[in-house]
Amino acid sequence: MKFESYHFSEGLNKGIRSLDWKRPTDIQFKSITSILEGEDVLAVAQTGTGKTAAYAIPTIEILEQINESQRRKDGLKCIILAPTHELVLQIVDVIESLCRYTSVSVIGLLGGEKYDKQVEALNNRVDIAVATPGRLFDLIHQGHVKTHRIRSLILDEADQMLDLGFINDIRQLVRLLPSRKQTLFFSATINDYIKKVAYSLVKQSAIRIQISPKNPIAGNIEHTVAFMEMDDKRFFLERLIREHEDKKIMVFVRTLVRAERVYKAMERVGLATLLIHREMEQEERVQNLNLFKDGIIKVLISTDVGARGLDIKDIIYVVNYDIPEQVETYVHRIGRTGRIRKKGYAVSFASPHEKTLLREIEAYIGEHIERLSIDQDDYEETILFSEEQGEDWQKLMNLAKDLEAKNKRKKNKKQK
Establish if 382 belongs to a structural domain.
Answer: no
User: How confident is the model at residue 166, as a pLDDT?
Assistant: 77
Q: How far apart are CA 66 and CA 36, in angstroms?
A: 12
Q: How far apart are CA 149 and CA 147, in angstroms?
A: 6
Q: Are residues 44 and 138 in the same domain?
A: yes
Q: Are residues 184 and 242 in the same domain?
A: no
pLDDT digit string (tens) for the chain, length 416 residues: 899 899 999 999 999 999 999 999 999 999 999 999 999 999 988 888 899 999 999 999 999 999 988 766 678 999 999 988 889 999 999 999 999 999 999 999 988 777 888 888 888 889 999 998 889 999 999 999 989 899 999 999 888 888 766 788 888 888 999 988 999 999 888 878 888 888 888 888 899 998 866 677 878 899 999 999 999 999 999 999 999 999 999 999 999 999 999 999 999 999 999 999 988 888 898 899 999 999 999 999 999 988 886 788 899 999 999 999 999 899 999 989 988 778 999 999 999 999 999 999 999 998 999 999 999 999 998 988 886 654 444 454 455 556 666 666 655 665 55
Q: Are residues 115 and 10 in the same domain?
A: yes
DSSP 251-283: EE-SSHHHHHHHHHHHHHTT---EEE-TTS-HH
Q: Are residues 187 and 266 in the same domain?
A: no
Q: Are residues 149 and 234 in the same domain?
A: no
Query: What CATH code is carried by the domain that includes residue 35?
Result: 3.40.50.300
Q: Are residues 186 and 266 in the same domain?
A: no
Final residue of a domain: which of 157, 185, 210? Answer: 210
The tally of domains found in the chain comes to 2
Residues with Cβ within 8 Å of residue 103, at least 6 apart in sequence? 11, 64, 67, 68, 73
Q: Are residues 152 and 272 in the same domain?
A: no
User: How confident is the model at residue 393, as a pLDDT?
Assistant: 40
Establish if 416 belongs to a structural domain.
Answer: no
Final residue of a domain: which of 178, 210, 242? Answer: 210
Q: Are residues 31 and 171 in the same domain?
A: yes
Residues with Cβ within 8 Å of residue 24, at least 6 apart in sequence? 1, 3, 32, 50, 53, 54
User: How confident is the model at residue 124, as a pLDDT?
Assistant: 82
To the nearest 10 degrees (0 to 180), the angle between helices 355-365 and 327-334 is: 80
From the list 208, 17, 70, the residue with the least C-alpha distance to 8 is: 17
SS3 215: coil
Final residue of a domain: which of 156, 180, 210? Answer: 210
Rg (C-alpha) for the chain, rounded Å, is 24
Q: How far apart are CA 262 and CA 140, in angstroms?
A: 40
Q: Are residues 202 and 235 in the same domain?
A: no
Q: Note down the domain range covering 276.
A: 221-374
From the list 249, 344, 339, 343, the residue with the least C-alpha distance to 302 is: 249
Q: Are residues 175 and 257 in the same domain?
A: no
* Ramachandran quadrant class, 260 (left: phi over 0; alpha: psi -120 to 50; beta: rest): alpha
207-210 and 221-227: which strand pairing?
unpaired
Q: Are residues 243 and 185 in the same domain?
A: no
Q: Are residues 11 and 66 in the same domain?
A: yes
Establish if 393 belongs to a structural domain.
Answer: no
Q: How far apart are CA 242 and CA 110, in angstroms?
A: 37
